[in-house]
Amino acid sequence: MFGKQNRVVGLDIGSSEVKALEMQRVGGDGYAITGFASSRIHTPEETRLAVKEVFRSGGFRTRRVVTAVSGRSVIVRYVNMPQMPQEQLRSAVRYEADKYIPFEVEEVILDTQILERDTGRGEGQQPEMKVLLVAVKKSLIEEHVALLRECGLQPAAIDVDAFALGNAFELHTICSNREREFDDKVVALIDIGANKTNINILRGKTSYFTREVYLAGNDFTEAIARRLGIDEAEAEALKIDPRDRVGEVEECILPTLDDLGNEIQLSFDYFENQFEKEVEEVYISGGSAKLPGLARTFEGSFDKPIVFWDPLENLPMRTERIDQKSVLARAGQMAVVVGLASRIRGRL
């Protein structure tokens, strides 16, 4: 049985691309990447075909997948609650669900996790704890599972993009032997994709704030198309490879970049006010991290060190089935898929 369960495929169904990465447990604590495939999506209708395509071309040796949901049907809340055992927590949250989530409790699947057992005393002088609450609309999960089953896949776990990003970062600190350094450090992870930007603020291994901002790669492409009066396919190509027109591209996207920087700054402000702790470093990933001018704009807006990190750095890779060069060239885009596959490290 162990032989069967020692691999999983992280399946990141993004809005522009499906990425699948197989991870294998090796020995007790070890793991290695044993496969990778991706397939572009041009319209949402192509998603199912793209998922099938990555499993056709990836040569994976398992059909067990860890995927993620995201979007407006996914609600993440960080709440203070009176201290109670984990077993009681779920029913307590269900009972008060309307306080925290904008949907009927019958409509959602709820998950809870105690983040800090003792956060002091609340207004009623009761000892409190900090709880992470995730509510996902049942209809979204059902649709998602139906898609996976249609593609002949077995869902092993369904995650949330922002937490997958956090898991990838945790793995990164472990692989780089830098876990200690991040024990108490506050870092912001920012993943800038095609449709959305995910923000996850961590202190040590714990997430204290997540948010999705619907401003990302597609908006930059649109800005270029609009400003230069060209179609989107042309604008996309120019954005990705601007060559000697880099100045022109930067000028087109600067207002959108400023908007994104402001949205991220608002999240930092919220976190810093709430927790009286500063975000110390900003870690950027996602396909749009390579955008010309992004580093300069963000450095100016945040006044914090910015790191373009590589989620594949120091991760053992079995290269016989992987086109390593093309994967490494796009390493910055792999954070979510690595985080999903990294769930092989825990119990699945």
Ligand X SMILES: Nc1ncnc2c1ncn2[C@@H]1O[C@H](COP(=O)(O)OP(=O)(O)OP(=O)(O)O)[C@@H](O)[C@H]1O
Q: Which positions touch Mg ion (CB under 5 A)?
A: 14, 193
Work out whether 193 is an interface residue with ligand X (CB under 6 A). yes
134, 156, 194, 340: which one binds ligand X (CB under 6 A): 194
Angle, helix 217-228 to helix 232-240, in steps of 10 degrees? 110
Give the shortest CB-244-to-Mg ion separation in angstroms: 30
Distances (CA, A) of 9 to 23, 136, 164, 200, 265: 6, 22, 13, 23, 34
Give the shortest CB-220-to-Mg ion separation in angstroms: 15
- CA nearest neighbour of 327 among 345, 309, 312: 312
138, 290, 321, 345: which one binds ligand X (CB under 6 A): 290
**Cα separation of 348 and 340, whole Å?**
11
Partner interacting with residue 343 (select from ligand X, Mg ion, none; CB below 5-8 Å by kind): none
φ and ψ of 221, to 5 deg: -60, -45
- Give the range of 144-152, 163-171, 188-196, 305-313 binding ligand X by CB under 6 A: 188-196
Q: 186 or 337, CB closer to Mg ion? A: 337
**Cα separation of 116 and 196, whole Å?**
29
What residues from 58 to 117 belong to the interface with ligand X (CB under 6 A)? Answer: none
Q: Where on the phi/psi map is residue 270: left (φ > 0), alpha (ψ -120 to 50), or beta?
A: alpha
Partner interacting with residue 17 (select from Mg ion, ligand X, none; CB below 5-8 Å by kind): ligand X
Partner interacting with residue 58 (select from Mg ion, ligand X, none; CB below 5-8 Å by kind): none
**Cα separation of 174 and 167, whole Å?**
11
Partner interacting with residue 288 (select from Mg ion, ligand X, none; CB below 5-8 Å by kind): ligand X
Q: 132 or 291, CB closer to ligand X? A: 291
231 three-class SS: coil
- Give the range of 149-157, 203-211, 268-276, 284-292 binding ligand X by CB under 6 A: 284-292
Tokens of 347: 């119990």
Q: What is the largest CA-CA distance in the chain?
A: 64
Give the shortest CB-336-to-Mg ion separation in angstroms: 5
φ and ψ of 283, to 5 deg: -110, 120
- Residues forming the site for ligand X (CB under 6 A): 14-17, 193-196, 216-218, 236, 239-240, 286-288, 290-291, 333
